[in-house]
Structure 1
Amino acid sequence: MGAEGGGRRRALRMAAYAGCGVLLLAGCASMPDSGDLRGVESTPRQNAQVRVFAMPPHENARPAEIVQGFLEALTGDDPQYETARKYLTESASRRWDPDGSTTVLTDGPNAVPEPTGNREAGDEYAFTLTGSKVAVVDAQHAYTPALGDYSGTVHLTMVKKTHQWRIDALPQGVVMGKSDFQRNYMSVNKYYYASNVPTATGGRLSTVADPVYVRSKVDPVTSMVRTLLKGPTRWLAPVATSGFPQGTALRKDVTTLSPDDQNKLTVPLDQRADRVGRSQCTKMAAQLLFTLQDLTPTGVNRVELQGSGGRKLCELNEERAEIIAAHSMAKQPEYEYFIDGKHRLVRLSASGSRDPEPVLGALGETEANLRAAAVSRNEDTAAGVSADGQNLYVASMASGASLGAAVVSQGASPDDRLTTPSWDGGGNLWVADRDRKQPRLLMLRNGAGKPVEVRTPGLDGRIDAVRVAADGVRIALIVEKKGKTSLQIGRVERESGNGGQADVSVLGLRSVTPQWEKVTAMSWAGTSRLVVVGQESGGVLQMRYVQVDGSTPTGNSPASLTGVKQIAASEDERLPLVAYSEDGIVRLSAGAQWQKVVKEGTAPVYPG
């Protein structure tokens, strides 16, 4: 458990040892044994690389001081919470598992003394910790938004042998305020391989990101390797596989991992990896490289895997890893696309160096009369929705290409018909039909043929927008129910069906914007990040980045934009955002302000 608090709460006293580059959290000053015990204030720390260690309990510390010091100790950087354990009895320390979970609160936990049966005798005390929950990080390091009240009890006893107060009972896991969590933890993607997904990437495997949170200053390289070896998180596991044999772990004598002066990381594995073949070993090494690339700035560009006896199993560099698997997008998009004032599909160089031009084929002609479109990830085929939302057409973006047969909605009005379509990394086309009498999620295999109706057993509401990730196993939906809209992430699962075709379902739907009342637009903006337009209850319209686990990534939100109606981002985070607003089609490049592209235009999209 950790803590933070408001400006009225006393600041921690800090003692800096410049020679060691270490900060020590000072113990609390004299505190009362009755009355409210306020949450601990988070102390600003300017140097992100400086590690912070807490002070142990001082002699004859009172019960309130023990609780306060313990909460402060848990905001430090002790690898095994060594200092925090000094506030516990020996038996409580053995039972306490700080890695079991981390509960994140809006503010740090407030501690209030509670009456106990023997309090008058003066040999025991209890304090209740309370707060408003924001999220929970579980034992697999997976983050889940969790609104509601938090309550936990900390019990203290006088240790007879030492005549010192110590905590003898406490909740499992850790609890801390949001700002302490953001300072102590960081989000990192670990990578696995998408399972049961037809691929359009030349037979290469397709990676899928699995975001987790690890302590940022407590050996994050070793932490990430260990959590990668343990396999995908429970939510992702049904649609992802690992190259590592089940149960593989680091060799028992390995306590820490760090790259050498050539930026190579050597990873000694236990006996479960001893018999893997070279092909499987390189898949394992590729997962490690992709994961460590996200853990910047490690500098790792080469990985060597060793067996239990120290024998070299394989070695892999970044270039060869990209041959094994299509990591993120197969290629950087060449163009941005939107519907121009003549209701045709046009394209604009992703570098922004040219004027918009109509795409080749029927969708680029004036007669196309479109309101929305999607372009395949290899940029050779597009799908367009008619201006009235009733028809979906697919056509090659080649000179003279004609429209394919239409997918038709029977919705009563344009708002009750087809959404903007979306292509996955395997070349399949997805679209939602908002017909109130028969709302459906449809998929066209390879963008052609009879649409497959996708099962959505956990869906509670009507789909207003759909975007499928490049990996083909994660799908983002804007779902409307009773006038409110939310952003939900689901898994795309495939099972063998009749005629050799797989039955497709979207399962595991979870809201990643539980505090938002309305979501009006969204787009994938990275391997595990989306850009979202919407508003909280009683708030104003805003644009924000959101992780697929519901957490807020570090860094700045996009610059504000008045009247934004639609948004497009690339999974290549280096490319600019493109939006449709009251100023028309506008673009936002890194480090710049929004710039107008054209006045007459709507429905911007990147390939996908």
Structure 2
Amino acid sequence: MGADREGGARHRPVRAVAYATCGVVLLAGCASMPDTGDLRDVESTPRQDTQVRVFAMPPREDAGPGEIVQGFLEALTSDDPNYDTARKYLSAEAARKWDPERSTTVLANGPGTAEDNQTGGREDSGNLTYTLVGSRVATVDAQQAYSPAEGPYSRKVHLSRDPKSRQWRIDALPAGVVMGKSDFQRNYMSVNKYYFASNSPAVATGQSATVADPVFVRKRVDPMTQMVRSLLDGPTNWLGPVVRSSFPTGSALQKGVSSLTPDDQNKLIVPLNDRASRAGSGKCAEMATQLLFTMQNLTPAVDSVELQGPSGKRLCELNDDQAVKRPEYLYFLDGKHQMVRIAGATSTSAVPVPGALGTGDRELRSVAVSRDEHTAAGVSIDGKSLYVTELASGASLGDPVVQSHGATTDDRLTTPSWDSHGDLWVADRDRANPRLLLLEQGAGRPVEVQTPELSGRMRIKDVRVAADGVRIALVVEKDHKQSLLVGRIERDEKAGEQPVVTVRGQRSTTPGWEEVTAMSWAGDSRLVVVGREQGGVLQMRYVQVDGSAPDGLAPAALPGVKTIAASEDDRVPLVAYSDDGIVRLPSGGQWQTVVKEGSAPVYPG
């Protein structure tokens, strides 16, 4: 279900997704159900091949109330685009009012059903109530945004017998749909849609940074058109305060457009309404950028997008002709705690970086390199001092830009982190004065970042800011347990004054974990994390920023992991510092030793 996929397009490495209809599987929505109050599980539908579309059977004549409830629940897991079959299990009024797009509730197993004893269990009453029960795993809201959830699920479903037809139908039910986790994984997938950072400076190219906004769409119900509509509807509520869309308010597909597919030249033509067609050429190019990045995260079958206005007027076109710039070097500390670097993904030859961090006498504990690879930051080996200098011959170290007064090395500065705007982030773990700090362009008086949603007993242990500069990953500790939170960065800027910077909306990406020892961004909406679940063993796993589990396998096991380094470009191999020294993980391979003596590996960022 991961939105960051392997292989595929050059802008956003993606994984191919097949949508061909190779066959039809009928769900037998007519399994019998006893009329007693015993609890029964509705078995989750067996996992199907992703190319097979699954449809449900309508209710049979004279089906009992138990059959109606179970048939309806099974119809919710089918690939029926508008849930037309599921509506056949409802009364006319209920079918009209029911809104399946309002939410999706994901349970650990398929929903259990029990007849409500208040009705006395008598069919001859003409009215029966069933209770749907289960253990919640997650919810997907009307914006298709995923949120982990826990706790019991219990909802009422009421049935009545039509006095004329004598057929049982559901006439009252909760909004949305409900299904087990395995059905959810079969039916839905996570895809990134893209917006622009709204309250941050432009990157070096002159364009604002793009920000991934993951949503869940139904895999085999025209996901391309779903994603275009979702993009036009705007960002999810969580991300909305820090991003903007270049599509004018009211932008939509033209009336009558029901499905979008790329042509034989891999071009996707998107007919837009009059509101969207009023945008100027610059805005149109940004609109096309949002669409192209979104489509390429869904499938590599799109090489270009063309936006059209009413009457087929061509507004603009964008081709995928830009090469993605990969990191030039991997950086780490050698056995003497000096900063070195290795070029390429296969080299094992490390050389000192130019400038004071590579050739001076200052021993370092951790380092970070700006995303343009022109500047580096280093924390002294005692954790007290943060230095910033250019990666250039003759560059001096200068005075520390931040100092910590923590009592021990573990109570001092974290590994620093750069965003794509050239701003530097670091946390001071001083128990007497814990702070999250931002240095604009890596210099000047540090800005103390506000974290109002972190209680006084929570302490930041590690920091990684996303390349877009509007999302930040924080490892926080409370009562000797660590969790990984992702928050959005909100800035209030006034001319001539330091900005007011606040991290809000922190949400856990590791629900159920009790320890997080290392983490790194590993894609536009994905991180790689080292830690352990409650009562579990140390493991390495990918997680999504919304707390969902990505599709695909976890990285190969690696004992003794101390730090992990990844790139937003997931074609670059993972690198770790472990008991074996600096090691890296080639795509599809096993961990390989780079150097025996070394620590604190990082890619730019």
TM-score range, shorter chain: over 0.9
Please give the residue correspondences for 1:495-514 in structure 2 after superposition, counting only pairs within 5 Å: 495-497=492-494, 499-514=496-511
Q: Which residue identity lines up with residue 422 of structure 1 in the other structure?
A: S
Assess if the C-alpha contact under 8 Å between 1:188 and 1:211 holds in 2. Answer: yes
Matched, 1:288 2:291: yes
Mapped to 2, the partners of 1:480 and 1:19 lie a distance apart of 48
2:277 alignment partner AA: D
Instruction: In structure 1, give the amino acid aligned to 2:356.
Output: A
Q: Which residue in the other structure is 2:513 paired with?
A: 516
Q: Tell me if 1:470 matches 2:467.
A: yes
CA 1:394–1:75: 2 relative to 1, 3 Å: same
- 1:596 is aligned to 593
Matches within 5 A, 1:386-535: 386-406=380-400, 407-460=402-455, 461-497=458-494, 499-535=496-532
- 1:180 counterpart (178, 183, 189): 183
1:244 aligned residue (231, 238, 247): 247
- For 2:419 and 2:239, the matched residues in 1 are separated by 17
Query: Which SS does the other structure have where 2:209 is aligned?
Result: strand
Please tell me whether the aligned partners of residues 199 and 427 of structure 1 are also in contact (alpha carbons under 8 angstroms): no
Partner Cα distance (2:139, 2:152) in 1: 12
Structure 1 moving runs of 4+ over 4 Å: none
Aligned position for 1:108: 110
Matches within 5 A, 1:36-51: 36-51=38-53
Select the residue among 378, 390, 398 that pairs with 1:384.
378
**3-state SS of paired residue (2:312):** coil
Alpha-carbon distance in structure 1 between the residues aligned to 2:406 and 2:494: 29
CA 1:428 to 1:19, structure 2 compared with 1: closer, same or farther past 3 Å?
closer
Aligned amino acid, residue 278 of structure 1: S
Greater shift, 40-49 or 506-515, is seen at 40-49
Q: Distance in 1 between matches of 2:406 and 2:497?
A: 32
Contact kept? 1:116, 1:124, Cα under 8 Å: no
SS at match of 1:116: helix
Partner of 1:365: 359
Deviation at 1:38, TM superposition (A): 2.4
Question: Is 1:94 equivalent to 2:127 in the alignment?
Answer: no
Q: What's the counterpart of residue 318 of structure 1?
A: 320
Task: Report how far residue 559 of structure 1 moved.
Answer: 0.7
Range with greater deviation from structure 2 (39-48 or 61-70): 39-48
Rounded to whole Å, the distance in 2 between the matches of 1:114 and 1:485 is 42
**In 2: Cα distance, 1:486 partner to 1:475 partner:** 14
Hey, what's the Cα distance between the residues in 1 that align with 2:413 and 2:80? 54
Q: What is the rounded CA distance, in whole Å, between the counterparts of 2:561 and 2:128 in structure 1?
A: 55
Q: How many residues were matched structurally? A: 582
Q: TM-score, normalised by structure 2?
A: 0.94
Amino acid at match of 1:285: A
8 Å Cα contact 2:327-2:603 kept in structure 1:
yes
1:334 aligns to 2:328 (yes or no): yes
**Amino acid of the structure 1 residue aligned with 2:67:** E
Q: Distance in 2 between matches of 1:273 and 1:235?
A: 24
Q: Which of 197, 201, 212 in structure 1 is aligned with 2:200?
A: 197
1:446 aligns to what SS in structure 2? helix
CA apart distance, 1:27:
2.9
- Tell which deviates more after alignment, 212-221 or 104-113: 104-113
Cα offset for 1:366? 5.8
Corresponding residue to 1:352 among 316, 327, 346: 346
Alignment gaps of 5+ in structure 2? 1-19
Change (3 A) 1:232 1:341: same
| Equivalent AA in structure 2 for residue 417 of structure 1 | R
CA separation in 1, counterparts of 2:508 and 2:494? 29
* CA apart distance, 1:156: 0.8
Q: Which amino acid aligns with 1:452?
A: V
TM-score (norm 1): 0.93
Q: CA deviation at 1:574?
A: 0.5
Instruction: Give the alignment partner of residue 27 of structure 2, picking from 17, 20, 25.
Output: 25
- After alignment, is 45-54 or 564-573 more displaced? 45-54
**Secondary structure of the corresponding residue to residue 295 of structure 2:** helix
Percent identical: 66
Q: What do the CA deviations read for 1:319-354 (whole angstroms, capped 9, x no partner)?
A: 2xx59xxxxxx7210111111110111111232224
Compute the displacement of 1:522 (Å).
0.5
Provide the secondary structure at the position in 1 that maps to 2:118.
coil
Deviations, residues 123-170 of structure 1 (Å, cap 9, x unaligned): 111111111111111000001111111111111111112111111111
Q: Does 1:166 align with 2:169?
A: yes
Q: CA deviation at 1:581?
A: 1.2
Q: Do 2:384 and 2:409's aligned partners in 1 also have CA atoms closer than 8 Å?
A: yes
Q: What SS is found at the alignment partner of 2:125?
A: coil
Tell me, in whole angstroms, the C-alpha distance in 1 between the residues paired with 2:395 and 2:282.
42
Deviations 1:407-435, CA, capped at 9 Å, x for gaps: 11011111110000000010011000001
Unaligned runs of 5+ in 1: 1-17, 324-329
Pick one of 208, 211, 216 that aligns with 2:211: 208
Structure 1 residue aligned with 2:11: none
Determine the C-alpha separation between the residues in 2 that align with 1:29 and 1:195.
52
Q: 1:59 aligns with which of 58, 61, 76?
A: 61
- Partner letter of residue 230 of structure 1? D
**Shift in Å, 1:40:** 2.6
Give 2:233's aligned residue: 230
The alpha-carbon distance between structure 1 residues 68 and 37, as it changes in their structure 2 partners (threshold 3 A), is farther
User: In 1, are the aligned partners of 2:368 and 2:418 still within 8 Å (CA)?
Assistant: yes
The Cα offsets for residues 502-531 of structure 1, whole Å up to 9 and x where unpaired, read as 221111111111211111110000011000
Separation of aligned partners in 2, 1:391 and 1:20: 62
Q: How many angstroms does 1:91 deviate by?
A: 0.6
d(CA) in 2 for partners of 1:229, 1:25 = 34
RMSD across aligned C-alpha pairs, in angstroms?
A: 1.7
